[in-house]
Amino acid sequence: MARTVLVKRDAITQTRIVDTALPPLGDGEVRLTIESFSVTANNVTYAVVGDAFGYWNFFPGEGEWGVVPMWGHAVITESRHADLTVGERVYGYLPMAETLDVLPDNVSAGGFVDAAAHRQPMSPIYNQYARLAADPEHDPGREAERMIFGPLFKTGFLIESFMRREAWFGAEAMICTSASSKTAMATASVARDKSPQVRRIGLTSAGNVKFVRAGGFYDVVMAYEQIADLPQVPSVLVDFAGNAALIHAVHTALADNLKYSCTVGATHVGAGFGQVGGPLPGPEPVLFFAPHHAVAAIQELGPKAFGAAVAASWVRFIGEAGSTVKVDERSGLEAAAEAFVATAEGRADPGVGIVIRP
């Protein structure tokens, strides 16, 4: 038997834990026992936009109850694949659960993809698993930081890459909502390094202003109540909150000075993600789907150069961000469910990175 956390798809603060019998493995399959994963606002976004982007489909649930994807580490505990042996550790996309059965394909020294039929309609980016023994991104001393920051960092890297390819749409400033989120910090970090001419403005709740300023990723940090005071310069909005009223306020404050608007995440659950009431000044917000932009960036740079660029920026970012977040390790799926709900309800401390050991 193995346990899984189920989340109600249309009311994501409702969870339950179920036991399921483990089926015998088929030819070529591998059973992963999940060692650890992180719980962040990114996972909440997966749930909020799960129907629109297929996030509920990676790990099938039960009717109205779904399984939220996580990023973490696992060990092979049973194998019917000739090239993958019991005891080997991997990193990748995992369910909020104790185990995962995969059908490895394109196996190389560096990793494999899960060829399970139900996962093929979704982006292949999420179906890749790194074999830690030959993974250049693996640092045994930074496993927690990789789970907490890694996927979010890559999204931030791709946002900056996209904006730079578009010459920042002529903007002089980038405005990030939910500036305390790890993806926003990553975006600001990469922009500071690769696009220093663009001023970085972070918007956050009044209670998080001190934390965000201490991180040093932004030129200016403002509370949401100060939106009317945003500098009147050509700007782009990178929205990580998914809050319709907040998007409307920024668009209204900047009007024609807003040159591009994209929504990346949904940290403000229940605040109207993707819905804006009334006429919206400025450009129509565009959803940023990282896997699509990853393909564009890889085509532009080539796989090797892209990997090297990501790695260089990652080392710089984690050296700065690692000290801003305290790792909090918790045991059991009950703790995972509690952490997910707290994050969805906005009760999670941005200064704490939660790691779960099921």
Q: How far apart are CA 201 and CA 194, in angstroms?
A: 16
First to last CA, the chain: 14
Q: Do 247 and 283 belong to one domain?
A: yes
Task: Round to whole Å and give the CA distance between 134 and 88.
Answer: 11
Same domain, 99 and 153: no
Specify whether the CB–CB gap between 199 and 174 falls below 8 A: yes
- The Cα 201–Cα 309 span in angstroms is 24
The three-point CA angle 218-222-228 to 5° equals 130
Residue 7 lies in a domain: yes
Q: Supply 224's token pair.
A: 């949401």
Blockwise average pLDDT, block size 10, the chain, 358 residues: 95 95 96 96 85 89 95 97 97 97 95 95 88 87 89 90 95 95 91 96 94 93 96 95 87 95 65 55 85 80 82 83 83 97 88 92
Residues 186 and 107 in one domain: no
If asked whether residues 285 and 337 sit together in one domain, one would say no
**Domain check: are 20 and 74 in the same one?**
yes
Does residue 177 sit within a domain? yes
Last residue of a domain, one of 245, 270, 292: 292
Structure-token pair, residue 126: 């999420």
* Residue 189: inside a domain: yes
Q: Does one domain contain both 71 and 155?
A: no
Q: Which CATH number do you get for residue 73?
A: 3.90.180.10
Is 275 found in the same domain as 157? Answer: yes
Would residue 320 count as lying in a domain? no
Q: Are 237 and 261 in contact (CB under 8 A)?
A: yes
- Say whether both 8 and 111 belong to one domain: yes
Whether 300 is in a domain gets the answer no
Please tell me the predicted confidence (pLDDT) of residue 255. Answer: 93
Among 247, 271, 292, the domain-final residue is 292
Kindly report the CATH number assigned to the domain that includes residue 173.
Answer: 3.40.50.720
> Based on the structure, what is the number of domains in the chain?
2
Q: Which two tokens stand for residue 7?
A: 């989340």
**Can you say whether residue 170 is alpha, beta or left, with left for phi > 0 and alpha for psi between -120 and 50 degrees?**
left
- Domain assignment of residue 173, given as a range: 149-292
Note whether 69 and 28 are same-domain residues. Answer: yes
Using the 3D structure, point to which of 269, 292, 315 is the last residue of a domain. Answer: 292
Domain-located, residue 77? yes
Domain co-membership, 120 together with 172: no
Whether residue 280 is found in the same domain as residue 154:
yes
* 82 and 111 part of one domain: yes
Instruction: Write down the pLDDT at residue 268.
Output: 46
